[in-house]
Amino acid sequence: MKRISEIYLLAIALVISHTTLAQKKPQQPNVIFIYADDVGYGDLSSYGARKISTPNIDRIGKEGVRFTNAHATSATCTPSRYALMTGRYPWRQQGTGVLPGDASLILPTDRTTLPSLFQKSGYKTAVVGKWHLGLGEKGEKINWNKPVAKGPKEVGFDYSYIFPATSDRVPTVFMENQAVVGLSADDPIEVDYKNKIGNEPTGKENPELLKLPAALNHGHNNTIVNGIGRIGWMSGGKQARWTDEEIAHVFLDKAESFIEKQAKSPFFLYFSLNDIHVPRMPSTQFKGKSGMGLRGDVILQMDWTVGQILKKLEELKISENTIVIFSSDNGPVLDDGYADKAVELAAGHQQAGGFRGGKYSAFEGGTRIPMLIRWPKGIKKGIESNALVCQIDMLASFARLLNQPLNKEDGPDSFEIRDAFLGKSLKGRETLIKQGGALSLTEGQWKYIEPNKGPAYYELTGIESGNSESPQLYNLSKDKEEKKNLADQYPDRVKAMTSTLNKMKEASRTRP
């Protein structure tokens, strides 16, 4: 009898200790990466904007870390996103430039990516928003009338609600889990980027039909959808086409539904906003609200969207243990090919925060972007960090946070700088290669831009490219505007940085 009660007591003790252990194991944080499009360093009020106010985004930094030396790898969309997803420099792979809407998937399906890393740690993962990383099998023409074989799912997203490329590129449709939403079988979609297909009006032939005029000699002068000329031609899928004014709301709705559904177990949401890319077409709620025209209005819309996400987390009581990251894929551009008066109405606004250049540029304006990270449970409030950090480092840093080993081929250019991202250390990486037209190397306060052919000035956008056939060397701590080229004054440094850059370029690198 005595023996039986001993066993009984032991069993109870085991159950109790097991439960306390389970309770003690901290729940892994949810992660929401909000990736805005074309938002410049100076476009947020927490980064010095005075003509416009972005209180919701600013709040992320006030209650967490605000980075002043954070970077996208590239000055355009596709390559920056490639780097974020793979932890690999995009210029190591051909075909990672701005993709047309009918491009094949450029992400590897046999490597650890940011979403597959979370999956391996037991997270549910989703992408909602702009994709722009290609779809379908390499070299195969996409059939838009059935689910595409390769896309977000094959690189680690359990759920996807995306549009294929940018809102100025066809097809102008949403895709849920890789199938076009709302497509009717008797009106199949066809897309072409070389020749006109179908007989719908185009911006070039029927400019009188445009509600948002565009310079008609370039870019946005093909099929007109919703009164806006697009890049590329499409026919069919009439019922499936989006209304630009609704995009922000549709994506927010899908993001919120995912968060609600997953609230009880860890999730990773890559929320890739359409704002503030062209064509800027805010919903009625925001039209005319900024006094800065359509570009200002979509900044307000973006800030509201972020506010709604923060509110949702609070409602669900998961705010404390959710890491929210806000950043942008490249620097700002005012005139990106539609006549939306962004240039005139921005007078007095410094969209690149005083850095030289903007989107497309090898100067800082192209790649230095806002980055704010909030995690009430794991990050102190109100930290300002000037650590050199890059979006490419998310992969290795989250691998560390999640205790997930990476294979040596995974994320070869991604540095583990978890403590910098969490504001625990003010030291980030030591070097960083960035890509405008030219490649540049940043090493501490020094920035070297490789000689590069090509125009010094992009007529279309009015942006300085950073191209020069001579080497350029700037001291960013004294000359943030990159005005004084010191290459002639410091030939040894130019030589050393050229050699470092070449070594980094040539090395077929494994994990640092």
Contacting residue, 29, 30, 34, 38, with ligand NG6 by CB under 6 A: 38
Q: How far is CA 426 from CA 80, 235, 432, 445, in A?
A: 24, 53, 16, 15
3-class secondary-structure state, position 9 = helix
Count the residues in the chain.
512
Contacting residue, 113, 166, 319, 350, with ligand NG6 by CB under 6 A: 166
Residue 337, binding choice from ligand NG6, Ca ion, none, Cβ under 5 to 8 Å by partner class: ligand NG6
Q: Does 262 bind ligand NG6 (CB under 6 A)?
A: no
Task: Give the pair of three-digit tokens for residue 48.
Answer: 């010095």
- How many CB atoms neighbour CB 451 within 10 A? 13
Contacting residue, 31, 34, 36, 38, with Ca ion by CB under 5 A: 38
What is the helix, strand, coil percentage profile of the chain, to 5? 30, 20, 55
Q: Does 158 bind ligand NG6 (CB under 6 A)?
A: no
Q: Does 43 bind ligand NG6 (CB under 6 A)?
A: no
Q: Are 394 and 326 contacting, i.e. CB atoms less than 8 angstroms apart?
A: no
Residues 99-118 that bind ligand NG6 (CB under 6 A): none
Residue 203 or 366 having the CB closest to Ca ion: 366
- 38: which residues sit within 8 A by CB, 6+ positions away? 77, 276, 277, 278, 328, 329, 330, 331, 332, 333, 336, 359
- 227: which residues sit within 8 A by CB, 6+ positions away? 209, 210, 211, 212
User: Binding segment for ligand NG6 among 202-210, 214-222, 257-265, 413-421 (CB under 6 A)?
Assistant: 214-222
Q: Does 77 bind Ca ion (CB under 5 A)?
A: yes
CB of 292 to Ca ion, least distance (A): 19
Residues 323-352 that bind Ca ion (CB under 5 A): 329-330
Q: Does 275 bind Ca ion (CB under 5 A)?
A: no
> Whole-angstrom Cα distance, residue 506 to residue 219?
35
Nearest Cα to 70, choosing from 380, 394, 296, 305? Answer: 394
- Cis upstream peptide for 512 (omega within 30°): no
Q: Are 368 and 476 contacting, i.e. CB atoms less than 8 angstroms apart?
A: no
Q: Does 77 bind ligand NG6 (CB under 6 A)?
A: yes
CB of 490 to Ca ion, least distance (A): 33
Q: Does 339 bind ligand NG6 (CB under 6 A)?
A: no
Residue 117 or 128 having the CB closest to ligand NG6: 128
Task: Give the pair of three-digit tokens for residue 6.
Answer: 């001993």
- Cis upstream peptide for 171 (omega within 30°): yes
Residue 319 or 330 having the CB closest to Ca ion: 330
Residue 278, binding choice from Ca ion, ligand NG6, none, Cβ under 5 to 8 Å by partner class: ligand NG6
> For the chain, how big is the Rg over CA atoms in Å?
24
Contacting residue, 107, 126, 273, 278, with ligand NG6 by CB under 6 A: 278
Contacting residue, 92, 98, 316, 493, with ligand NG6 by CB under 6 A: 98
Q: Are 494 and 482 contacting, i.e. CB atoms less than 8 angstroms apart?
A: no
Indicate the residue whose CB is closest to ligand NG6: 219
Q: Does 34 bind Ca ion (CB under 5 A)?
A: no
> Whole-angstrom Cα distance, residue 169 to residue 166?
5
Size of the site for ligand NG6 (CB under 6 A): 18
Residue 112 or 166 having the CB closest to Ca ion: 166
Contacting residue, 124, 254, 277, 418, with ligand NG6 by CB under 6 A: 277
Which residues are registered as beta bridge partners of 223? 202
Residue 197, binding choice from Ca ion, ligand NG6, none, Cβ under 5 to 8 Å by partner class: none
Positions that interact with Ca ion (CB under 5 A): 37-38, 77, 329-330
Positions that interact with ligand NG6 (CB under 6 A): 37-38, 76-77, 98, 132, 166, 168, 218-220, 231, 277-278, 330, 336-337, 460
